[in-house]
Amino acid sequence: MRSQGVRKRQFLGLITVLAVALAACGGGSSSDTTAGGEGAATTAGESAGELVTVGFAQTGSESGWRSANTESMKTAFSEENGFELIFNAADNDPAAQIAAVRGFINQGVDAIVIAPIVEDGWEDVLQEAADAEIPVILEDRTVTAPEDLYATWVGLDFKREGVYAGEWAAETFGDTPTKMVVLEGTTGSAPANDRAEGFDEATAETAIEKIDSQTGDFTRDGGKTVMEGFLTKYGVDGIDLVYAHNDDMALGAIEAIEAAGGVPGEDIQIVSIDAVHDGMQALIDGKINYIVECNPLLGELAAGFVNSVLAGEEVEKRNYVEDQTFTQEQAEEALPDRLY
């Protein structure tokens, strides 16, 4: 999932920061030349047509979700739609991402879209963008910087995703005593915390008992290893329900359940969040019982907000995208048309 890169790559990040620092020093002169030639470039751009230049600072390409998100942005900010997109993927390195945003400011883009890698440390560069009168639109994750430093935020409500998953569980199991295990996302990440909280709220009044909970780091391997542990600990008969914080861990859990001689979806029911292609396929095959979508197709919305903001319209500061939910039957209908 998308937040895992932040924590898991700290070590890598530490080293790349050095490399980026060097690169930034080396690139200093080149960005100066860009700034020098900026006037000419802008005039050329304007005379060529009314293309709106947008700089998009993506986190990296850590997951299927992220790839779909990038594709969606590239499609929405296409030339046909009147945009010229300058794309930058920072490989989950916060320093590189801030450098990229600074590059956009120097290039004098019309608007900047950021999918922040981390929440903190954005004040300075956002202030620079504000001083240059370039509006900033945030997508996906948020920042801790004051709200007046950016135009708007569009993203998902992780807690509500957890609530939806919990509501399904409450409806399906209700007063039946149910033993549930949880495959958590990366410890401390926003999606993991919020999805756990939402689910627990929605199932508080039910007979569902959380017998164990461990992190599977949002990966298939993590989900499988943790599930194997749960299965040797409690046995196939000792677990009724698995709540996985994302599809990949649910897919790993399916492997573990099958290897232990159980039937996923029947002996042990599975509910997960994301609705990536492989997850939806497992849902259709009856191995997962319910999926709450975590929609990566934010491009259209982001493009809409860029246009509104540039036209001087008032927009809401926080915009949540409505997530869909899928039962096995609904998945069968929806899968052929899905873009990711």
Partner 1 sequence: MKHRLFWPVATLVMLILINTIARSQFASITVRDGRLYGALIDILRQSAPLMLVSLGMTIVIATRGIDLSVGAVMAVSGAVALTIIDGSTDPNNVGVVMLAVVVALVISLLLGVWNGFLVSLLGIQPIIATLVLMLAGRGVALLITEGFITTVNSTPFEFISTGYLLLPFAFFIWVAAAAVVGLTERRSALGVLTEAVGINPEASRLAGVRSRGIIWSAYAASAVLAGIAGIIYASNIKAADANAAGQFIELYAILAVVLGGTSLMGGKFSLAGTVVGVLIIQTLESTMLFLGVPSAESPVFFAVVVVVVVVIQSPRLHRVARDFVRSARARRAAEPSLDAEVVG
Kindly state whether residue 100 participates in binding partner 1, applying the rule CB under 8 A: no
Write out the two tokens for 167. Answer: 């509501």
CB atoms within 10 A of CB 297: 18
* Region of 73-81, 251-259, 291-299, 325-333 interacting with partner 1 (CB under 8 A): 251-259
Residue 112 near residue 136, CB atoms below 8 Å: yes
Q: C-beta of 195: minimal distance to partner 1 in Å? A: 14
- Are 90 and 97 within 8 A, CB to CB? yes
91 forms part of the interface with partner 1 (CB under 8 A): yes
Contact range with partner 1 by CB under 8 A, out of 2-10, 30-38, 96-104, 299-307: 2-10
Could you tell me which residues come within 8 angstroms of residue 44 by beta carbon, excluding any fewer than 6 positions away?
A: none
Give the one residue of 54, 59, 66, 284 binding partner 1; rule: CB under 8 A.
Answer: 66
The Cα 31–Cα 41 span in angstroms is 13
Q: Does 75 bind partner 1 (CB under 8 A)?
A: no
CB 29 within 8 A of CB 106: no
Q: Which of 230, 243, 290, 326 binds partner 1 (CB under 8 A)?
A: 230
Identify which range of 5-13, 48-56, 131-139, 325-333 contacts partner 1 by CB under 8 A.
5-13
Q: Least distance in Å: CB of 281 to partner 1?
A: 9
Of 176 and 232, the one with the shorter C-beta distance to partner 1 is: 232
- Residue 166 found at the interface with partner 1 (CB under 8 A): no
Q: Does the protein bind partner 1 through residue 287 (CB under 8 A)? A: no
CA 303 from chain centre, in angstroms, equals 18
Which one, 52 or 284, has the nearer CB to partner 1?
Answer: 284
Number of neighbouring beta carbons within 10 Å of residue 44: 10
Q: β-pairing, 325-326 with 241-244?
A: unpaired
Least distance (Å) between residue 252 CB and partner 1: 6
Residue holding tokens 């009044």? 205
Give the chain's end-to-end CA distance (angstroms, integer).
14
188 is a site residue for partner 1 (CB under 8 A): yes
Minimal distance in Å, beta carbon 309 to partner 1? 29
Subset of 206-225 contacting partner 1 (CB under 8 A):
212-215, 217, 219-222, 224-225
263 belongs to the binding site for partner 1 (CB under 8 A) = no
How far apart are alpha carbons 279 and 291 in whole angstroms? 8
Q: Are the C-beta atoms of 162 and 182 separated by less than 8 Å?
A: no
Q: How far apart are CA 340 and CA 121, in angstroms?
A: 32
Q: Are 320 and 269 in contact (CB under 8 A)?
A: no
229 forms part of the interface with partner 1 (CB under 8 A): yes
Instruction: Say whether residue 8 binds partner 1 (CB under 8 A).
Output: yes
Of 22, 132, 204, 259, which one interacts with partner 1 (CB under 8 A)? 259
CB of 103 to partner 1, least distance (A): 20
C-beta of residue 309 within 8 angstroms of C-beta of residue 301? no
| C-beta of residue 211 within 8 angstroms of C-beta of residue 180 | yes
For partner 1, the binding residues (CB under 8 A) are 4-5, 8, 11-12, 15-16, 19, 61-64, 66-67, 70, 91, 184, 187-188, 212-215, 217, 219-222, 224-226, 228-230, 232-233, 248, 251-252, 255, 259-261, 278
